[in-house]
Structure 1
Amino acid sequence: MAHLRDVPDDIDEAVAVRMDRQRILHSGDHRFAMLVEEWVLRTVIGDSDTMAGALGHLISVASLPSVSLGVIPLGTPRGAGWPVESFTMYDDAQVNVELVSAHLTVTQPGEIAEYTKVFAELSGIAVYGAQARSLITAAIDAFG
């Protein structure tokens, strides 16, 4: 990806920073609700070992009491207007949106409310617990 965006190839440093950020999962009184589409679990970034390790880590993190992980299964019917961009919500104060060319920070209450509604609707079609782990495990198995 670095070559596509003409940025330095600093994968090792980026991984170290992301791993350090994960300490928040184990400290304080934070709650995290995450959703992922099943097709994302099967999208190869790196190699099979990298993917299996990342998905195994996802299963581990999903078992933490502070984490709720939902997986939206392939083929789940949905209406029009679903977001194609990835977004992160920080309570009702801020939404960060990742685009190909930019990172947007949304702070307007009306716009945050739209993301809150979409997240609630997507949460309603996701599976959790054993069903989510089963989909993640199937993706790991597919990598051989």
Structure 2
Amino acid sequence: MTEQVQAARTAFGDRLRNIRKDARLSGRKLAALNNWHFTKVSKIEHGRQNATEDDIRAWCIACHSEEQIPELIATVRDIAQMWELYRHSLRGGQKRLQARGTPLYKATKLIRAYESICPPGILQSPSYVRAVMEVNASMFGLTDDIDTAVEARLERQELLYSSEHRYSFVIENGALAAIMGGVDSLLEQLDFLDTVTSLPSVSFGIIPPNVTRKIFPGEGFYIFDDSMARTSTFAGRIRTVEPQDVAFMIRTFRSLQSQAVYGNKARALISQRRRELEQLRTTS
């Protein structure tokens, strides 16, 4: 989804280009009217440079399109919010980051989530969450209280037992492999996933190994109702509220769903991983 940010910038540049052409101004003329370097207009129109809100105002005034300023500024703000640097989000500490996301979970009636490398955050057991928080603290040099950060994330799990919320999860079989916090921590995590598969509000599927893929494994993502999609990388998070983008992610999720196994078949994969870990514990 990193390409979506650039695509949004390019589409925005196209809109500004059309405004300029409708005003019958060349790029050089528009730049001259606003005392810009002559290359600035081209860079903005091709998505190679972000337009500031002042740039938009000056652009529209020069093109006699002042009525478009509010909508264009709202659009450029949405584009700016699509990419959120993770390290910036963590400045207030992990507890604050986790607590900040809780209202969104509470307001969402249907959450769809896909993960390829680890269980979704809301499905992580206490020791697994702690291990994740400790890794984050080490990576980003954080000094906040791990205990309160763990509590803030685990607070969301009560929503799994609410009849007012529904959840649909799909994970790759490989998401059962990552050992965070040691073998015992992952065994606890597998036990929790086993429990989750029987919750009435939860649909939990695992894409088994050796399946012929309809779509390749990729970065994890979340869809909140039909209104927002979000994905994360090591550096940051990308979110979009554009209807066509959210619809695309829903179609992607359905394709992944169609390759997953559920119920007893999913529990069999969890049990298989549990046996592997127990063997690893006895031989190590």
Report the TM-score when normalising by structure 1: 0.91
Instruction: Map 1:1-144 onto structure 2 (within 5 A).
Output: 1=135, 2-8=137-143, 10-79=145-214, 82=216, 84-144=218-278
Residues of 1 paired with 2:144 and 2:206: CA distance?
Answer: 31
Q: Check conservation: 2:231, 2:238, Cα contact below 8 A.
A: yes
1:54-96 Cα offsets, whole Å, 9 max, x none, are 110111122100000000011222246x462111111211112
Instruction: In structure 1, give the amino acid aligned to 2:264.
Output: A
- Show structure 2 runs of 5+ residues with no match: 1-134, 279-284
Secondary structure of 1:18's counterpart equals helix
1:80-137 Cα offsets, whole Å, 9 max, x none, are 6x46211111121111211111112210011111110110000000000000001011
Larger % of helix: which? 2
User: Which segment drifts farther, 5-14 or 59-68?
Assistant: 5-14
Cα RMSD of the aligned pairs, angstroms, is 1.6
User: Which segment drifts farther, 8-17 or 24-33?
Assistant: 8-17
Residues of 1 paired with 2:208 and 2:244: CA distance?
Answer: 29
Instruction: In structure 1, give the amino acid aligned to 2:229.
Output: V
Residues of 2 paired with 1:142 and 1:9: CA distance?
Answer: 35
Larger % of strand: which? 1
Residues of 1 paired with 2:185 and 2:144: CA distance?
Answer: 17
Q: 1:9 to 1:140 in 2, by over 3 A?
A: farther
1:9-32 Cα offsets, whole Å, 9 max, x none, are 644333212211101111242110
Residues of 1 paired with 2:140 and 2:222: CA distance?
Answer: 22
Residues of 1 paired with 2:177 and 2:141: CA distance?
Answer: 26
Report the TM-score when normalising by structure 2: 0.48
Q: Check conservation: 2:163, 2:201, Cα contact below 8 A.
A: no
Structure 1 residue 8, shift from structure 2 partner: 3.4
Size of the aligned set, in residue pairs, is 143
Q: Relative contact order, CA 8 A, sep 6+: which one is greater?
A: 1
